[in-house]
Amino acid sequence: MKKSITKKIVAAVVGTMLFGALAATTAMADGQKVIKISYGLVKESGEGTGAAKFEELIEEKLGDKFDVQCYSDAQLGDDLKSTQAVAMGELECVITSCSPLTGMCSELLVFDLPFLFPNFDAADAVLEGDVCSGIAEKLEGNGLHVLGWMENGYRCLTNSKKDVHVPEDVAGLKIRTMENEMHLALWKELGAVPTPMAFSEVFTALEQGAIDGQENPISTIYLNKFYEPNEFVTVTNHIYSPKLFLISAQLYNSLTDEEKAIFDEAGLEASKVARETTRQQCTDYITNIRDEGATVTELTDEEHQAWVDATAAVKDQYMDTIGADLVKAVEDVCAQY
Ligand code: KDG
């Protein structure tokens, strides 16, 4: 009898100690909310630099409440998977290409139109203007709050087969594309064989010869060493790709007004740093890629025009899907630069 009472007392004491430890641990976690940022490129990329800047700003101003953690190289999932997790409130933040999200928000297809943005000033004016405010409202309805617009950059072609100058040169080449209907349509229109796949699978597919080429900005081509399996690089600049820096709307709406303002301000500053970094890399890395022994072809004005002409039909094909008004609004801004 006496032993069983002793056992019960010991069990009660141990249970209380364990509960107290758990409560303390939970209290620590509650004291600092963890904010995980998922992105697909390497830490040295523009988006990696932007994510680190956001982490610095939030921990400087709200470090007692939030612990920002950045996860590169699609460690937490590729663009679409991570964005879906953020929309569901299962993940806090993501930096993603717009192209895989067009099923969620068809207006984003406007950024897949070839040769729409004549230069970076036009891109900045659109990304910071009313056009993107409308898209942000649509995304809010999908559970996603826009903290800022970062940048993938102007997309360029790489391949393992030939030095490409004009559209006819890509006939028959198996070109990896993002999982996006307009990208598929564009390369099919040019006579290539478009092959959609997630970004994280591209390097291996190139190495194994499952595909002949891919298209991404110069900064991505260099940082992900695509010039190794693809010795031919053509600076087509055929599409300007922005990126979205998103936070769960559920999490954002749980913040105080002061916290929201700090998050929004940090998001804008981090996105500006990210865009500046990507642009500088896209300029500097052309030389780096040549130094690695790859052939880098920069188009003549005549060759550039041939690409513009050869891709024009894709725009007509998607005008209704995107919305003629939205396309015109973007073109009107771009016409000023
Ligand atoms: O996760 C990486 C993507 O966001 C993007 O940077 C890569 O444009 C890209 C692509 O081709 O998938």
193 lines ligand 1 (CB under 6 A): no
96 lines ligand 1 (CB under 6 A): yes
Choose one of 79, 94, 155, 230 to mutate for the ligand 1 pocket test, by most ligand atoms within 8 angstroms of C-beta.
Answer: 79
Instruction: Give the domain extent around 305.
Output: 30-334
Using the atom order of ligand 1, give the atom closest to the CA of residue 155: 8
User: Considering the domain boundaries, does residue 10 fall inside one?
Assistant: no
Q: How far is the CA of 315 from the centre of ligand 1 (A)?
A: 22
Q: 333: which residues sit within 8 A by CB, 6+ positions away?
A: 122, 125, 126, 129, 131
User: Considering the domain boundaries, does residue 85 fall inside one?
Assistant: yes
User: Phi/psi at 194 (nearest 5 deg)?
Assistant: -65, 135
Q: What's the total number of domains in the chain?
A: 1
pLDDT at 10: 57
41 lines ligand 1 (CB under 6 A): yes
Q: Whose CA is nearest to atom 1 of ligand 1?
A: 40
User: Considering the domain boundaries, does residue 24 fall inside one?
Assistant: no
Q: How far is the CA of 97 from the centre of ligand 1 (A)?
A: 6
Task: Output the six-digit token pair for 333.
Answer: 């801004």
User: Considering the domain boundaries, does residue 225 fall inside one?
Assistant: yes
CA gap 55, 58 in Å, rounded: 5
Q: Whose CA is nearest to atom 12 of ligand 1?
A: 199
Using the atom order of ligand 1, give the atom closest to the CA of residue 97: 4
User: Considering the domain boundaries, does residue 8 fall inside one?
Assistant: no
pLDDT at 16: 52
pLDDT at 6: 56
Q: How far is the CA of 82 from the centre of ligand 1 (A)?
A: 13
Distances 329 to 98, 123, 137, 138, 312 between C-alpha atoms, Å:
18, 13, 16, 17, 18
Nearest CA among 72, 69, 76, 71 for reference residue 42: 72
199 lines ligand 1 (CB under 6 A): yes
Would you write out the chain's pLDDT as a tens digit for each of its 337 residues?
445 555 555 555 555 555 444 444 333 445 789 999 999 999 999 999 999 999 999 999 999 999 999 999 999 999 999 999 999 999 999 999 999 999 999 999 999 999 999 999 999 999 999 888 889 999 999 999 999 999 999 999 999 999 999 999 999 999 999 999 999 999 999 999 999 998 999 999 999 999 999 999 999 999 999 999 999 999 999 999 999 999 999 999 999 999 999 999 999 999 999 999 999 999 999 999 999 999 999 999 999 999 999 999 998 899 899 999 999 999 999 999 9
pLDDT at 4: 54
Choose one of 152, 197, 214, 282 to mutate for the ligand 1 pocket test, by most ligand atoms within 8 angstroms of C-beta.
Answer: 152
User: Considering the domain boundaries, does residue 224 fall inside one?
Assistant: yes
Choose one of 178, 219, 278, 281 to mutate for the ligand 1 pocket test, by most ligand atoms within 8 angstroms of C-beta.
Answer: 178
178 lines ligand 1 (CB under 6 A): yes
User: Considering the domain boundaries, does residue 23 fall inside one?
Assistant: no
Choose one of 97, 108, 224, 245 to mutate for the ligand 1 pocket test, by most ligand atoms within 8 angstroms of C-beta.
Answer: 97
Q: Are 37 and 71 in contact (CB under 8 A)?
A: yes
Three-state SS string over 74-88 comes to: CCCCCHHHHHHHHHC
User: Considering the domain boundaries, does residue 134 fall inside one?
Assistant: yes
179 lines ligand 1 (CB under 6 A): no
Q: How far is the CA of 98 from the centre of ligand 1 (A)?
A: 9
Amino acid at 179: E
Amino acid at 171: A
What CATH number corresponds to the domain at position 218?
Answer: 3.40.190.170
CA gap 227, 189 in Å, rounded: 25
